[in-house]
Amino acid sequence: MSELNHPSVQDCAFSMWHVQAFLHGGLDEAEADEIRQHLMLCEQCLDFYDSETLITELVQRCCRDTQQPAPPTLRVRVTNLHVVS
């Protein structure tokens, strides 16, 4: 990817900050389109998105088996583990 096509640091920060809202349909269409376009251009953010998607699917699968929502502290713990690793 050439320097001209690489997204800005601000684009990456916006995308990473809003990835959970994007995954759960919590953005308006313009913001969602902005993130979609960014993910097509930025491999690093796409990798982050893929990791977040996997974590979300695993938590949903575990919670579906128990018929209970995930505890509020779980997201904080998972997010902290993801940031550190």
With a cut of 60, say whether residue 2 has pLDDT above it: no
Token pair of 66 as six digits? 């128990």
Q: Quick one: how far is CA 41 from the chain centroid?
A: 15
Number of domains, the chain = 1
Q: What 3-state DSSP class applies to 8?
A: coil
How far does the chain reach from its first CA to its final CA, in angstroms? 26
With a cut of 50, say whether residue 7 has pLDDT above it: yes
Token pair of 68 as six digits? 């209970």
The whole domain housing 25 covers: 9-84
The answer as to whether 47 is a domain residue is yes
The reported pLDDT for the residue numbered 3 is 45
The answer as to whether 3 is a domain residue is no
The answer as to whether 44 is a domain residue is yes
pLDDT digits (tens, 9 = 90+) for 35-68: 999 999 999 999 999 999 998 888 878 777 666 6
The reported pLDDT for the residue numbered 15 is 86
The answer as to whether 60 is a domain residue is yes
This prediction's pTM? 0.65
Which residue type is seen at 42?
C
The answer as to whether 1 is a domain residue is no
CA distances from 46 to 12, 41, 62, 72 (A): 10, 8, 24, 26
Place of tokens 């389109």: 33
